[in-house]
Chains A and B, each alone.
Chain A
C-alpha cells in the first residue's frame, strides 16, 4: 500500500515497550544481531522521555522499539560499543535533556534553542605539541555555500583531527511541523534541504498518506520515483561539477554544470520548479504528464545520456583527476559500517545499502534500478560512484518514459489521521536515506515529527576521511561527500 517509499505504520499500543533498565540491552542485542539502526529519537513530557528506536533487517523490513526513561536517571551510552549511535545519543540528549551516562562526546548536534546564542563559545578539542597548529574555518565559507564551522587540528600539513561544528542553519523545522496544519506541512518540508526537495517531500507525503489511510496508486508512485531520480541526476552532476573544478579539470566542471542545467530545466518543464518544488504533493502529484512534455523529457534524457558518457570517460581517464583523487580521503568498508554511513558515500566504501533495492512493491520493484557499489572508499570512488549512479538513474528514467506515463493526479483533501499511530517513512535521496517519522495522539493530532537527513550520519564520515590527509585535501573530500548543513541543523 505504500509504493516505493519504505513505510512502517504501527499502532502506538503495538510498539514493543521495554523497561528502562532493559533498554540498553535490548538495543545492543538487536544491533549486534545484525539489525541496523535507522533512527532513534525522543520527546519529553515532564520528567518522562519517550524514546523510540527504529531498526532494519537485511531484508529491508523495519521494526520499532520503545521505552520511557526518567530524564534525570536516563540510560548508559552505547556509542563506545556502537559508534554509529553517536549522533542519535547526542541528539536525544540535546532535544530532551535525558541523561546519557558515560557518553564520550555529548556535543550538541545543532545547538537547538537557547544554546544557539552561545555556539561560538563552545570549546573545540585542542591538540598540543611542538608541530601542532589549528586552522579555523567558517561559519561563513569562501564560496556561495551554506555556513558551518570546521576546526582542523594539524601536525604540519597533516590533519590529525577535524571537528565539525554545525547548527548555524537551525530554523526549528521540527517544532514548526507540529505547530502548523498537517495538510500544509509539505511546503515547509520541501525546504528542509532544498537540494533534496523531492526526497524529503516524498518521505513526508508517504508518512502523511499512511496516517490518512490513502494509497495514491502505482502511477503517482512512478511519477515520484521519476522526480527523485531526476533530482539525483541533477545533484550528482552538481557535485561532479564542483569536484572537477576543485581539481582543476575545468572543462569537465563546466560540462557537468551545463548538463545539470538540462536536468533541472527538464524538472521545471514538468512541475514548474528547477528543484522539483510541487512535484510531490501529499495525496496527489504536481508532475505533468502531457504528451508534449514527456516527449521533451525523452529528448533531454537522451542528450544527457550521450553527453554524460562522453564527459565521464574524459574525466575519469584524465591522469590529473586520477592522481589527485585516488588514495585521498579514504573511508574503509569497516569504518563506513562502524560509523553508520549511508547513501552514495557508504556505497563508495563498499556498503551495499540502498533503499531502492529489496522493495516488495512500487516503481523500483516493477522496474529495478541497477545497484552500484564500489570498494576503495576514496575521493575517486565517491566521484566514480556518483558517475555510475547517474548512469543507472538515466537508464531507469529513459526506460520509464518508454512505458505508460500517467502520473498527474489532482490533490485530494486530507482525511482524518489515524489516532495513536507511529509512521516511519524512508526514501533513498541522492545523499542517502531520508527518514521522516510522524506520530499521532488521542485525537489524531500530530504529537511528534522527526526529520532525519542523511547528512546527520555522514558528517562524521567526512571527519574520518580527512584524518591523516593533507589540509589541502579537505575541499575535495568535502565536495565528494557533498553534505547538507540545513539538513543537519533542521
Chain B
C-alpha cells in the first residue's frame, strides 16, 4: 500500500460528506407525496386498486406513509392527477396518526421533539439495530447513515453492538415469528430510558407482509414506537432527519 497510491486515492475521494443533512434533498428520490384537492370522479377507486399495501383510502384521498412502499403506481392510475411524489426525504413522525397525508397536509410537522430525550441524547445517541424479517434494504440504508456521505457520527449518533449500550432500538422488518424472542431479549437488555424506532413499511405496518402467518407483531403493540420512519426502504436522510428532529441535536 504505497504512500503515493494512498495519496492518489485520497485526492480522488475529494469531499464526500453532505454538509447540511437537514437541507439535503436527494435528486430522483421518491419522497413526500402531494395530494391535490381536485374532486375524485364519482365512484372512482383507481388509486386504491393499484396500491399493493392498501395505503390509500378515499373520501378524502389519504395516503398512509406507514404502509406506502413508494412504488408510484397510484400516480398514473388517477384520472385527476391528484397524486404526485416530491423528492422531500423528511417523512417521519412521532405518532402513527401523523403518517396519514391528505390534501393540503404535506407541510404538517410530524416529528415532535422530545424535551426529555433531547436533554439526554441530544449530543450522544447510541443505537442498536435489530432486523426481524427485514430484507436487507432497510439494513443497508441504516448502515449508509454512518458512511462517508451521511456521516451521522458528527452528531454523536452511532450504532453499537450491545443492547446494553443502546439508547434506542431500531427495528426493521415485519417482525418474523422466529425473531420474536430475540427482539424481546434485546429490548429487555436495554437500560432505561430508551425508545423504539420502527423503520420501513414492514416494521411500521407489516407493509407487504401484513397478515402473513409467519409474522408475529405483538411486541410492537406492547412497546409502542416513539418514532416511525417510512419508506421501502427509507433513505438515510429520512432516518437521520427523524433522529435529529426527535432528539433535537444538530
Q: Could you list which residues of chain A lie within 8 angstroms of chain B, going by C-beta atoms?
A: 111-113, 116-117, 119-120, 139-140, 142-147, 167-172, 175-176, 184, 187-188, 191-195, 197, 238, 249, 251-252, 254-255, 257-258, 261, 265, 268-270, 272-275, 277-278, 306-307, 310-311, 313-314, 317-321, 410, 484-486, 489
Contact = CB atoms under 8 A, between A and B. Distances in A.
Nearest to A269: B28
The 8 closest A-B pairs by CB, nearest first: A194-B137, A194-B135, A172-B214, A318-B1, A142-B161, A187-B52, A269-B28, A168-B178
B148 A194 contact: no
Interface string B210-225: 0011110000000000
Given A169-B173, A195-B137, A251-B9, A147 B161 contact: no
Nearest to A241: B147
A320 B1 contact: yes
A171 B139 contact: no
A413 to B, nearest CB: 11
Contacts of B26: 265, 268
B138 interface: yes
Contacts of A170: 133, 176-178, 214
Given A171-B209, A265-B26, A265-B28, A313 B5 contact: yes
B24 to A, nearest CB: 12
Interface residues of B, number: 62
Contacts of B82: none
B230 interface: no
A319 to B, nearest CB: 7
Given A117-B177, A193-B136, A314-B5, A272 B30 contact: yes
Contacts of A277: 69-71, 232
B8 A310 contact: yes
Interface in B1-55: 1-2, 5-6, 8-10, 12-13, 16, 26-30, 52-53
Max chain B C-beta neighbours (<10 A), residue from A171, A238, A269, A278: A171
A314 B135 contact: no
Contacts of B72: 272, 278
B141 interface: yes
A111 B2 CA distance: 50
Given A140-B182, A143-B161, A310 B12 contact: yes
A311 B13 CA distance: 10
B174 interface: yes
Interface string B88-116: 00000000000000000000000000000
Contact of B233 (A168, A194, A489): A194
B205 interface: no
Contacts of B212: 171-172, 175-176
Contacts of A184: 52
A176 B209 contact: yes
B131 A147 contact: yes
B186 interface: yes
Contacts of A120: 181
A146 B134 contact: yes
Contacts of B130: 140, 147
A435 to B, nearest CB: 18
A165 B189 CA distance: 23
Most A CB contacts (10 A, CB to CB) among B137, B149, B159, B173 go to: B137
B149 A146 contact: no
B179 interface: yes
Given A187-B71, A265-B26, A319 B12 contact: no
Most-contacted residue by chain B among A147, A167, A320 (CB, 10 A): A147
B249 interface: no
A188 B8 CA distance: 44
B12 A146 contact: no
Contacts of A258: 13, 16, 147-149
B140 interface: yes
A169 B178 contact: yes
B226 interface: no
Contacts of A191: 135, 137, 202, 208, 232
Given A144-B159, A255-B13, A194 B136 contact: yes
B138 A194 contact: yes
A275 B136 CA distance: 10
Contacts of B208: 176, 187-188, 191
A250 to B, nearest CB: 11
B131 A278 contact: no
Contacts of B178: 111, 116, 119, 139, 167-170, 489
Nearest to A146: B131
Contacts of A147: 130-132, 179, 182
A457 to B, nearest CB: 18
Nearest to A293: B28
A397 B53 CA distance: 34
A254 B135 CA distance: 24
Contact of B2 (A171, A193, A261, A317): A317
19 contacts: A143-B143, A147-B130, A169-B179, A171-B176, A184-B52, A191-B202, A193-B135, A195-B137, A251-B9, A254-B147, A268-B29, A306-B12, A310-B8, A314-B1, A317-B1, A317-B2, A319-B1, A321-B1, A485-B136
Contacts of B8: 310, 314
Contacts of B173: 169, 171
A2 B243 CA distance: 46
B29 A272 contact: yes
